[in-house]
Amino acid sequence: MADTRTLLSCDVGWRRYAKYLATDQQAKAVFGEVGYGTVAWATIRTIPRLARALFEATRMHRRWPWNPPQEFYERTVSDLRREFGIRVI
């Protein structure tokens, strides 16, 4: 669910995100521990929530940067959510 929201709401793109999953040691460890079948089944079970993530992504003013600039760290979360149109789901 969180990964789908990331793909829909960030400027990362499918190819770059797939490369991240294939090369990041923590991501590989999670898939190795949980298993790809479990991840696929959990994705199917969360289709209604995925639809909500898609809806919320279309309401955003612009996509969140995959690598946020340093100045974002000096701002409040509520200010950033307001600027990008991010709603917690």
pTM across the whole model: 0.63
- For residue range 13-51, list pLDDT tens digits in order: 889 988 988 899 998 898 889 988 898 898 888 888 888
Q: Is 51 helix (H, G, I), strand (E, B) or coil?
A: helix
Q: Domain residue spans in the chain? A: 2-84
- The answer to whether the beta carbons of residues 64 and 84 sit under 8 Å apart is yes
Q: What is the C-alpha to C-alpha distance for residues 88 and 2, in angstroms, rounded to an integer?
A: 11
